[in-house]
Amino acid sequence: MILFRKAEDIRQYLDKQENLGKQLSFVPTMGALHPGHLSLLSEAKKGGGISVCSIFVNPTQFNDAKDFEKYPVTLDEDIKMLEEAGCDVLFIPSVTEIYPQGVSDPSRYELGAIESVLEGKYRPGHFQGVAMVVHRLLEIVMPHHLYMGQKDYQQCMVVAELIRITGLDKRVQLKVVPTMREKDGLAMSSRNMRLKKEERKLAVGIYETLQFINKNIAKEPFSALKADAAHRLTSKGFRVDYVEIADATTLETVIEWDGKQGLVALIAAYLNEVRLIDNLQVVQ
Ligand code: AMP
């Protein structure tokens, strides 16, 4: 595995690889890696080209300064994990490498309605930050394939839109990888490291609630089902940001369901200080 810290150096190396006819597959991360991240790398490696991972805790996507400060950093372990998993190239840029003009760039991406619902509503500015960092990373790495996790369902949709509006769709193909879960069903997440033992036991309540929604999708009006689901979470000690049942392709709230429209159930909730998100595509 070759480690780069400078945009110019990684670009030079990748140019050479491309001239040798290699396809480039890219997995951007914020580090604190777990098997969910490695499942993206494993998909990226299936193409047989050069696999590139990045680790960068992006300050512009944190709307909550405390969340940024407390974001877990496990760089030595991450490097070891990626090396063992057969990653070809690792990019660990500094903030100035990603944001040479500083982090307060006033430019905005026109991401449409997807930006301001759900995560966008509860984390104002979050997706502009995601768009900034992903755009910059894509310009540096210029991958043919970009791998992202369904765990961040809305993020995948935002990035798909970003790729479209920037014209990068001529080059980059987004591939969405299913969510990897712990044995009990909890979606793997770097933030799980911050859960105390008792909280970790409770955390599976999010996945159980998504399954509850899936199971009862045709039995109750959605408003009642969402209220029941939220109540289940609060009774376990969660503080709920949202429980939503949405169209799987637009993320618009669905109130009346024809039984055919593709649906996704999404939850964001806190256990004390730690905010967790998860989602499940509804299957009947
Ligand atoms: P993060 O480091 O949290 O920004 O995540 C980096 C990438 O890994 C994103 O595309 C995430 O959606 C993806 N990811 C995070 N957790 C999981 C998981 N449990 N299963 C699959 N992909 C994941």
Structure confidence by residue, pLDDT tens digits, 86-106? 999 999 999 999 999 998 877
Q: Looking at ligand 1, which residue's alpha carbon is closest to its atom 18? A: 36
Q: Helix, strand, or coil here: 105? A: coil
Instruction: Give the whole-angstrom CA distance, residue 126 versus residue 130.
Output: 6
Q: Which of 25, 29, 33, 37 to mutate to test the pocket of ligand 1 (most atoms within 8 A of CB)?
A: 37
Which atom of ligand 1 is found nearest the CA of 39? 21
Is residue 107 predicted with pLDDT exceeding 90?
no
Amino acid 109: pLDDT: 97
Q: Report which of residues 159 and 47 the model is more confident about.
A: 159
CB atoms within 10 A of CB 86: 12
Decide if pLDDT at 186 tops 80: yes
Is residue 37 within 6 Å of ligand 1 at its C-beta?
yes
Closest CA to 88 of 135, 47, 136, 30: 47
- Three-class secondary structure assignment of 219-270: CCCHHHHHHHHHHHHHHCCCEEEEEEEEECCCCCECCCCCCCCCEEEEEEEE
**Sequence-separated (6 or more) residues with CB below 8 Å from residue 157:** 114, 251
Tell me what pLDDT residue 104 has: 83
Best residue for ligand 1 mutational test, from 74, 147, 151, 204 (most atoms within 8 Å of Cβ): 151
**Rounded to whole angstroms, what are the CA distances from 271 to 35, 62, 102, 197, 228?**
22, 18, 33, 12, 18
Q: Tell me the CA–centroid distance for residue 19 and ligand 1, in Å.
A: 30
Residue 30 beta carbon below 6 angstroms from any ligand 1 atom: yes
Rg (CA), the chain: 19
**Mind listing the pLDDT tens digit for each residue in 138-154?**
999 999 999 999 999 99
Indicate whether residue 151 lines ligand 1 (CB < 6 A): yes
SS3 call for 24: strand
C-beta 152 within 6 A of ligand 1: yes
Q: Which residues are catalytic?
A: 37
3-state secondary structure of 53: strand
Block residue for tokens 């299957």: 283
